[in-house]
């Protein structure tokens, strides 16, 4: 194997692992975003439940 092939294989290996790290970081960021969305949805649902419980919504005849 000549020096060019050795350099190319090493560079390809580094790119492969860099991509794997980036994919993992993206998955973690997506999970964090999904968790934040879930918290917002739960908070909105809880707010709506309190409004209903306090009879804030009045029926208009």
Q: CA–CA separation, 61 vs 53, rounded Å? A: 20
> What is the per-residue pLDDT for 25?
94
List the domain boundaries for the chain. Answer: 1-47
Give 45's pLDDT tier (boundaries 50, 70, 90). Answer: confident
**pLDDT in the model for residue 47:** 80
Residue 11 per-residue DSSP state: H
* Confidence at residue 26, expressed as pLDDT on a 0 to 100 scale: 95
Stretch 37-61: mean pLDDT: 76
Q: What is the mean pLDDT of residues 11-40?
A: 92
Task: Indicate the average pLDDT of the chain.
Answer: 83
**In the numeric block, which tokens belong to residue 36?**
């934040």
Q: What length does the chain have?
A: 61
């Amino acid at each position: 194997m000549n020096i060019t092939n050795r350099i190319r294989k090493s560079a390809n290996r580094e790119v492969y692992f860099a991509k794997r790290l980036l994919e993992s970081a993206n998955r973690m960021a997506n999970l964090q975003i999904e968790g934040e969305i879930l918290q917002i949805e739960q908070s909105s649902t809880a707010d709506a439940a309190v409004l209903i419980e306090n009879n804030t919504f009045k029926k208009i005849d």
